[in-house]
Amino acid sequence: MPHDHPDHFHHHGISSSGHPYRADNDEPLTYWQRMEIAVRELLIEGGHVTAAEVAQQINTMDSRSPANGAVVVARAWADPEFRARLLQDASAASREMGFDIGPLKLIAVENTAKVHNVIVCTLCSCYPRNLLGLPPDWYKSREYRSRTVSEPRAVLREFGVELPDSVTVRVHDSTADMRYIVLPLRPNGTEGMSQTALAELVTRDSMIGTGLVQAP
């Protein structure tokens, strides 16, 4: 998981977003950590889940990252027929590439010279997690969730994305069963690049819509 401020990992207290920083295993046991241990043990003892299933699920989520979405995007750029299938049914197109999308309905929204898409979940934190992994902290924040629908251009400017007025901004509000992924605009000057090289250009934020893919 990318992070810009590793010094915060061992920082105590509450961030200005209201979220505590990470507590490591050697820090005092919290009430909520005790609850996690208790719930997990009671589920295992009740025969509802096994410890191995919990460990396997953690491994599965750890293995999902924006790199998965990036290869899907790169193929869509390079392969017009795949791009059409992706825009038609992103769940099926992603499964075709070997990614486990589960029962989710995944919808790819395409950026063009005239339309820029950005995704949000105003209710909670719905995110194309099967393709991109767990969402960044800011995606789950009150600030991002509320402001992206009320003033998307201001939010995009905070992320360094300046769009001319001629570009329409479309905001897509995710639900538990319906998740969006942005198919970013392929940058000029990338003609003839391999899919592998293209995939390396594709950032997580470009697939959320809070970033643009830059030419190398």
Residue 68-107 contact track with other proteins, rule CB under 8 A, x = bound: ----------------------------------------
Tokens of 91: 């769940």
Give 48 or 114: the residue with its C-beta nearer to other proteins: 48
Q: How far apart are CA 83 and CA 75, in angstroms?
A: 7
Give 13 or 80: the residue with its C-beta nearer to other proteins: 13
Give 77 or 144: the residue with its C-beta nearer to other proteins: 144
Give 1 or 197: the residue with its C-beta nearer to other proteins: 1
Q: Which of these is catalytic: 15, 17, 63, 124?
A: 124
Whether the CB-CB separation of 191 and 77 falls below 8 Å is answered with: no
CA dihedral (173, 178, 183, 184) in degrees, to 10, reads: 30
Q: Which of these is catalytic: 121, 141, 146, 174?
A: 121
Interface with other proteins includes 143 (CB under 8 A)? Answer: yes
Q: What are phi and psi of 193, to 5 degrees?
A: -75, 150
Residue 154's alpha-carbon distances to 110, 158, 209, 210, in angstroms, are 21, 6, 13, 11
Q: What are phi and psi of 120, to 5 degrees?
A: -155, 165
Interface with other proteins includes 67 (CB under 8 A)? Answer: no
State the helix-helix crossing angle for 66-78 and 80-88, rounded to 10 degrees.
120
Is residue 174 among the annotated active site residues? no
* Minimum CB–partner distance for residue 189 and other proteins (Å): 28
Whether the CB-CB separation of 146 and 153 falls below 8 Å is answered with: no
Interface with other proteins includes 137 (CB under 8 A)? Answer: yes
Is residue 63 among the annotated active site residues? no
Residue 12-41 contact track with other proteins, rule CB under 8 A, x = bound: ---xxxxxxxxxxxxxxxxxxxxxxxxxxx
Q: How far apart are CA 128 and CA 84, in angstroms?
A: 19
Is residue 124 among the annotated active site residues? yes
Binding site for other proteins (CB under 8 A): 1-5, 8-9, 15-43, 46, 48-49, 51, 53-54, 57-58, 61-62, 120, 122-125, 134, 136-138, 140-147, 149-150, 155, 158-159, 173, 176
The catalytic site residues sit at 121, 124-126
